[in-house]
Amino acid sequence: MSATRQASPLLLLAAASTLSAAVWARVPTSEAAPAGYSYTLAQAEVGKTVYTAHCAACHGSKMEGTDDGMDDAPSLVGARFDSHWRSRPQALFAKIKQSMPQDDPGVLSKDQAADVVATILRANRVVPASDSALQGH
């Protein structure tokens, strides 16, 4: 019985640590996805494949953009993303779904466009607000 009593404080400590970690994981940060617009890490991984196939030729393999003087494609990471898209993921989804890729607009399905948005959010260190997949609208 004394072993049970000694284990009890350890179990309480473990439970408190787990609860504390869960609470801190939900605390919004300046990089959290806007409310109601989240993605899963698995979705961002799927989006990498779609991005490579349909976006990287213009925007670069690291989303750095191109400036070749002819067909400029903006960077999808860093300051430009912050100023144009960080707080507007629905607008980014609409832009991608309706007008990208530039050489074949609208070819991406809603799910593929949502996956690409998830990949871009992840590349910009936007933390998922929940474990829910981003949905095509």
Neighbours of 123 (CB within 10 A): 18
- Domains for the chain: give ranges and CATH numbers: 30-123 (1.10.760.10)
Exposed e or buried b for every residue in 24-36, given b needs 16+ CB within 10 A? Answer: eeeeeeeeebeee
Per residue in 46-94, pLDDT tens?
999 999 999 999 999 999 998 766 668 999 999 999 999 998 999 999 9
Count of H-run helices and E-run strands, the chain? 6, 0
Question: In the numeric block, which tokens belong to residue 113?
Answer: 């466009």
C-alpha distance across the termini of the chain, in Å = 58
The pTM (predicted TM-score) of the whole model is 0.70
The confidence score (pLDDT) of residue 109 equals 96
3-state SS, residue 74: coil
| Confidence band for 20, pLDDT divided at 50, 70 and 90 | very low
Q: Are 121 and 56 in contact (CB under 8 A)?
A: no
